[in-house]
Amino acid sequence: MSGVLWTILGIGLFAIGLLFSIWFHELGHFMWARRFGMRVPQFMVGFGPTLWSRQRGDTEHGIKAIPLGGYIRIVGMIPPAKSDGQPREYGRLRRMIEEVRGAALDDIEPGDENRVFYKKPWWQRVIVMSAGPVHNLVLAFVFFTIILVGFGIPATTPSLTVDLVSECVLPAGSPVKDCTTPIDSDGQTCGVGENGCDLPPPSPAAEGGLRAGDKILSVDGHEVSTFKAVQDIIRVNAGAELGFVVERDSGTEALAITPIRNLAYIDDEGTIDEVGFIGVQPLFPREQQSITEVPAAVGGFLANAAQALLNLPERIPSVFGAAFLGDERGQNDPIGVVGVSRLSGEYFALPEPVSDKIVFFLGLLASVNMVLFLFNLVPIYPLDGGHVAGALYEKARSVWARVRNKPDPGPFDIARLMPVAYVVAGFFVLLSGMLLIADIVNPITLN
């Protein structure tokens, strides 16, 4: 399959996975709302114009044109206003709140008196609004389990099997990432015709016929048992022809490779030295993990994702600069749906094993679902966490009233938070737009 088709497949699979994650999130809300007897008129994936819908029982299920979210509409999310029977003059803000309340109450039909959201016990409302994010957490857990238990994680020690043979030799630390850009002796970009400026030299490994998948058996007549032993021989033999014996296609091949002098990383601390170099990367075999390792791995990723979410405000200036000022895009900057789709397409186009593509894809979906879990539980209206916070506040207020021998204040009027909802929604629309622009004009890439 060509690189273009792999790219399209990667983008398409991520889009399908994202839509499934959104649907599964809304399914959590829907299942528990129906279980507790609430009426749900709509279950939609996406926003904007409806592309397809079908009526099933009380609920219209459908797909909308903009696949950036989803929703279910539960009857009676906003309670009616308390009235003392006296006419009131409302200001502009209050009128806006009452208009939203009126629109919500218009959904209530005869027979819905005991099926409205606000009349249900506080704990049922907490479960309904928490179920969506919890479904995302469940998906992330499933994806991580498949990765860790089914495929495994790369070992810390490389094998003797060749994973990648470089086409050319680039000095360590060089900003150049391809074999078609002229460089000087330090690996810096230069102009054709300048003294010492030339295309990167072909790698000795490629010229000598070494291939991905070869298993190195011996070097210079010495049997080797670790890749470090291979490196040690290569590094001290720059300019000397070395005999390699490799296992290939159930047989053996003898190759002659002459290392060249090159700046290379010689340890895990990033130390650079001029040593013999052939341009080969070993395979780190995957080691399947026990299922008991999954909770700790998910917990660690959850902590990192939560920290990234907390750091979001301080990264916004960087994203703004990348989107509108031409600044360099930070690798730790937040990334939007378009950017993640691009990464999925880029990775699928790489000459990696299909198993690695699947692991990368599942890892992306696990990350997205983890972010959806954390983001939706932020206790700000209109997010799910805002509804949960409102129900918990209502219960705390009821308990406090009972302790003081006061009447129960009744349902918390979440419509009063509508101005906050508009501000929050406006902020996320602006952030999404800024991420979209940054992902198009200044994207984060695998390089």
425, 299, 443: which is closest to 370 by C-alpha?
299
pLDDT at residue number 447: 65
> Could you tell me the pLDDT band of residue 192, with boundaries at 50, 70 and 90?
confident
d(CA 44, CA 330): 35
pLDDT at residue number 120: 94
Query: 311: exposed, middle or buried (C-beta count within 10 Å: 0-12, 13-18, 19+)?
Result: exposed
pLDDT over 70 (residue 56):
yes
d(CA 108, CA 364): 40
pLDDT at residue number 376: 93
CATH for 162-284, among 2.60.40.3080, 2.30.42.10, 3.40.50.410, 3.40.1190.20?
2.30.42.10
pLDDT at residue number 175: 84
Q: How far is CA 155 from the centre of its chain?
A: 23
Q: 293-309 pLDDT, tens per residue?
A: 999 989 998 998 898 88
Strand 260-265 and strand 251-257: the pairing is unpaired
**pLDDT top residue among 169 and 218:** 218
Instruction: Give the Cα-Cα-Cα angle 225, 229, 233 (nearest 5 degrees).
Output: 135
What percent of the chain lies above the pLDDT cut of 90? 55
Q: What are the extents of the domains in the chain?
A: 1-39+74-155+291-447, 162-284
Q: 228-254 pLDDT, tens per residue?
A: 999 999 999 999 999 999 999 889 999
pLDDT at residue number 79: 84
pLDDT at residue number 87: 54
pLDDT over 60 (residue 168):
yes
With the CA atoms of 269, 273, 275 and 278 taken in that order, what torsion angle do they form, in degrees rounded to the nearest 10?
Answer: 60
Residues catalogued as catalytic: 26
> Could you tell me the pLDDT band of residue 377, with boundaries at 50, 70 and 90?
very high
Query: Per mean pLDDT, which range of 46-60, 203-217, 263-277 is the poorest?
Result: 263-277
In this structure, the number of other CB atoms found within 10 A of the CB of residue 339 comes to: 21
Query: Per mean pLDDT, which range of 46-50, 105-109, 226-230 is the poorest?
Result: 105-109
d(CA 234, CA 216): 13
**pLDDT top residue among 179 and 1:** 179
363, 355, 356: which is closest to 145 by C-alpha?
363
> Could you tell me the pLDDT band of residue 68, with boundaries at 50, 70 and 90?
confident
Query: Per mean pLDDT, which range of 89-103, 152-166, 320-334 is the poorest?
Result: 89-103
pLDDT over 90 (residue 395):
yes
The average pLDDT across 432-445 equals 90
d(CA 285, CA 163): 10
Q: Average model confidence (pLDDT) for the chain? A: 89
pLDDT at residue number 421: 85
What is the pTM assigned to this prediction? 0.82
**pLDDT top residue among 37 and 331:** 37
> Could you tell me the pLDDT band of residue 137, with boundaries at 50, 70 and 90?
very high
d(CA 368, CA 337): 9
pLDDT over 90 (residue 144):
yes
Instruction: Confirm if 71 and 42 have CB atoms less than 8 A apart.
Output: yes
pLDDT at residue number 24: 96
Instruction: Confirm if 64 and 51 have CB atoms less than 8 A apart.
Output: yes
d(CA 129, CA 43): 14
d(CA 294, CA 299): 8
Instruction: Give the Cα-Cα-Cα angle 216, 217, 219 (nearest 5 degrees).
Output: 85
pLDDT at residue number 243: 96
